[in-house]
Structure 1
């Protein structure tokens, strides 16, 4: 049974060397993500992660290792202490590997889905994760809207602030219904790539009582980033 899940964003700037001049302005976000990962490692040394990536579904096994070289820093990461040959890893796997090392967890398996994966696949995905990874901690990776303000990556959209405020409220209160009803088309319009991973979490949590803590919620670079910890009661 999965008894704890943590939600983090997956921007490369979490890594101090990549953040460079933005290191100070990302310190709060980074600290929250590392703290959440530590909370996950408290209850599970093995993790299963679900995040978003390119146009295909992929599974990155614990033996994988890679590098942030493609993001400007040749920093290697591993998904376990006994890695295999280096490979090109999706960003979700790189961030998982970096957080695993920060938290001292033993290993992680990463499932990556396209951001536009239909919502009706969330329940099946959640069931498979729970069945195949009993006793693991669940790491949920995904960003909010990327349209906060005129200098944001996606260009300003007036609905972005309300959208991420609602997501923060849902993540901070374990409101599974609110997450499951997020509209895929609206999330695509707002550039919110975390929609499907959040819905996997909500599907897994349905039918049980969970407590939730919101550790961070802001849009420091025009993108909504949320960090939360969910624990099964």
Structure 2
């Protein structure tokens, strides 16, 4: 896998990866760091806590551990907000240490620089078992696919698979339904994708679908609520 990816620098100075086999980047060229904060922190975790100020713990499911950026930002969020988080992520093709150890996310913001050591720890923890990573962050990452993974109840879903044009099977309605059925009432499904078919399928599943302003360089994104 690692021989198919190379590190690139996006417009906000943060790293991403380019997958040569898929001819696709892991994040937006316009800024990996800003994209993750906008799509998954702002419209995911921040929105959830506003609507659930007293519900603990927060259970997150992520489709696509990838570079570990979303997981690391969620750990920072959990520690800063003192909200216990149970984080479940899947990734069939983990990165090598040679790749993830070079990623620069911990150097981008002085306010969260002291959380930098946790980034490599997230990559190094054992696969397929739950691990206490920090005071407010427990994680289980599984080396598997969405088709076969056993899902736990979730409050927030980060749907961060490669684009539908590159991995169409992950965006088909049966797998979306699998994720939907695992979500708790009031749960949030958030993704960078704004494809019309995705929004129609989520509506057909009974979700309240919102088209929201996208991160830098992208006009729109999608968020859906399980009623």
- For the superposition of Structure 1 and Structure 2, which TM-score range results when normalised by the shorter chain? 0.3 to 0.5
Which one has the bigger strand percentage? Answer: 2
TM-score, length-normalised on structure 2? 0.38
TM-score, length-normalised on structure 1? 0.37
Q: Which has the higher contact order (CA 8 A, sep 6+)?
A: 1
Which one has the bigger helix percentage? Answer: 1
